[in-house]
Every structure is written in structure tokens, then in C-alpha cells.
Structure 1
Amino acid sequence: MTSSKTLYLYTTLGCHLCEQAKQLAWPVLEHYGFRLQEVEIADDEDLMTRYGIRIPVVARADDGAELGWPFDQQALSELLK
């Protein structure tokens, strides 16, 4: 069972923007008590279709609300409130 305090990061190997998104997200995640779970989109054809040209994308586990790159800490805070 996935915790409602989980934020998914849709990513793929070698995504430098995804690494930037992770670094930006850590302080916000810690503040709101969320954990980050990376999801490799290359392993799933549906995810590749949905996110292939949009990554990095973060999504709440509890309600599916998404935020696509580029985003900043303020926008991520709004998503996690």
C-alpha cells in the first residue's frame, strides 16, 4: 500500500532535468513530510506515452494531482498543501 504522503517523480535514466527537479524538491518534501518515489517511465509503454516528452513530472499518490516541469519550490508547496 502506498502512503498518501508519497510524491511520485516520473523520470528516466539520464534525465538531467529530473535530477534538478529532485534537488529542488527535497526541502519542500521534508517540510510537508512527503517521501519521493521515482517511477521509471521507460519500463511502461503507457507511462512513456503519457510522460515521454513531459518529464520530469511529479504527482501526488493520494489524489493524482500533477505538476510538470518547469516548476519551482512555491509551485511544489502549493501542490503538497
Structure 2
Amino acid sequence: MQKYLILYGTVGCHLCDDAERVLQTLGLAYQTIDIIDDNRLLEKFATSIPVLQGADESYLYWPFDTEQVTHWLSEHR
């Protein structure tokens, strides 16, 4: 069963683009959420994006690479 992932970021964030490439390289399904559209998310993640959220609501903060994402996912089943 594939995990449900959310990538928090915003338009024009080159680090967010890099994070998307990591997820795409791994072939993972994910949803992107722009934090600029939600004041609560903006306050929570403004200085941290990109941030990956797993199905168990754990977070992986940038910087991360394919190996780190794979390891993080294996720990959060």
C-alpha cells in the first residue's frame, strides 16, 4: 500500500522544486499544498519549506535526498 504524502511549499521556491524532483525520482505519489493559501500553514512552515508530511503525520524537513526519504518512509509505516 502506498503512503499518502503531502509536500508543503510555495510557488517560486527552488528548494520546493528540488524536493519534488526527489519524490518524482522515487516514483512516489504526493500532493502539493501551497502554504501561502493558509495562514496556519504559513505560520507553521514559512521558514522551513519544503516539508514532507507522511500518512502518520510525521514530518521530514528539507534538506533531504532519495536515500533519506526512503529511510524516513521505512520508519513511519
1:44 has 2:49 as partner: no
Percent sequence identity over matched residues?
A: 36
Unaligned stretches of 5+ residues in structure 2: none
Q: Aligned partners of 1:75, 1:13: CA distance in 2, in Å?
A: 24
Moved over 3 A (4+): none
Which of 13, 19, 30 is the equivalent residue of 1:15?
13
What do you get for the CA RMSD once the two structures are aligned?
Answer: 1.6
1:73 maps to which residue?
A: 66
Which consecutive residues of structure 1, in runs of 5 or more, have no partner in the other structure? none
Report the residue type matching 1:75 in the other structure.
Q
Deviations 1:16-48 (CA, angstroms, capped at 9, x unpaired): 1100111122122x2xxx411001100111100
**TM-score of the aligned structures, taking structure 2 as reference length:** 0.86
Tell me how far 1:74 sits from its aligned partner: 1.0
Letter of the 1:36 counterpart: Y
Count residues in correspondence.
74
Partner of 2:22: 24
The answer to whether the Cα contact below 8 Å between 1:65 and 1:79 also exists between their aligned partners in 2 is no
